[in-house]
Amino acid sequence: MDALIDSHCHLNYDYAPKTVDELVREAAAVGVTTLVTIGTGLDTLGEIARISERFENVYHTVGVHPHEASTLAPGDVETLRQAARHPKCRAIGEIGLDYYYDHSPREVQRERLRLQLDLALELGLPVVVHGRDAEADLLEALTAYAAKVPASRSPGIIHCFSGTRGFGERCLTLGFSISFSGILTFKTAEELRACARAFPLERLLVETDSPYLAPVPHRGRKCEPHMVRFTAQKLADVKGLSLEEVARATTENARRIFRI
């Protein structure tokens, strides 16, 4: 089978008793040959870079999650800039807006999102976007950002897509790609599967967002990167394609965006 890429996982989180070495090895054993471990905060920049350095087939991103937006002082952008210059850092993320949890005040979230979108533009990197219950404000920020991204490259990825179809279509128009997580396999996710059916395959990726959101048949367990194949298989079923076709397309898409 063609290789799969888990475009979004968190290898620095706790998988005990499993080690990161085991996670990477078990993923490779089922054809998940490349993993992108995603940054969420200033406090884990070093930890994530070290994981990415240790494995040839693991890359990483640098960014502050909207939950942590309050921890990012404007003066910290220089720290992010230095970290993002790491040769295996391939994107700024995850960044965005989360009005569901509201862990940081909304205006702080918007401001820190803008700071990090500007950093991505400056460094010529794509972004990995997290959004929840904030579609209008997110579209406003992403539209302004995408207008400044050269047509020759992707503005980035809408990760763990679970939004409305209209939002997804607007993001596609802006040039973004869309990544589906294990939610795609959940029994109640009919609307999401309708989106997956409608969106163009050449703009789709798959991810685990591990350790969260384990796909069926592992739902309820701790999610691990090897499980991305169940999401890819569901995407294939939904689109009436073979797993090989979905693997080839999503891998090509991830390679192009992350320059892997």
Chain residues in the site for Zn ion (CB under 5 A)? 209
* Choice between 67 and 239, CB closer to Zn ion: 67
Minimum separation from the CB atom of position 90 to Zn ion (A): 15
Cα separation, 124 vs 90, in Å, equals 10
Residue with tokens 């979230």: 109
CB of 80 to Zn ion, least distance (A): 17
Closer CB to Zn ion, 225 or 236, in the complex:
225
Q: How far is the CB of 32 from Zn ion (least distance, A)?
A: 17
Q: Which residue is nearest to Zn ion (CB)?
A: 209
SS (H, E, C) the chain: CCCEEEEEECCCCCCCCCCHHHHHHHHHHCCEEEEEECCCCHHHHHHHHHHHHHCCCEEEEECCCHHHHHHCCHHHHHHHHHHHCCCCEEEEEEEEEECCCCCCCHHHHHHHHHHHHHHHHHHCCCEEEEEECCHHHHHHHHHHHHCCCCCCCCCEEECCCCCCHHHHHHHHHCCCEEEECHHHHCCCCHHHHHHHHHCCHHHEEECCCCCCCCCCCCCCCCCCHHHHHHHHHHHHHHHCCCHHHHHHHHHHHHHHHHCC
Q: Which is nearer to Zn ion, 135 or 209 (CB)?
A: 209
- Between residues 141 and 160, which has the closer beta carbon with respect to Zn ion? 160
Greatest pairwise CA separation for the chain in angstroms: 49
Nearer to Zn ion, 2 or 102 (CB): 102
Looking at the Cβ atoms of 112 and 239, the one nearer to Zn ion is 112
Closest approach of Cβ 212 to Zn ion, in Å?
7
Order of strands, sheet of 156-158, starting from the edge strand that comes earlier in the sequence: 4-9, 32-37, 58-62, 89-98, 127-132, 156-158, 177-180, 204-206
Shortest CB 98 distance to Zn ion, Å: 11
Shortest Cβ distance from residue 9 to Zn ion (Å)?
Answer: 8
**Cβ 74 to Zn ion shortest distance, Å:** 24
Residue 131 or residue 168: which is nearer to Zn ion going by CB?
A: 131
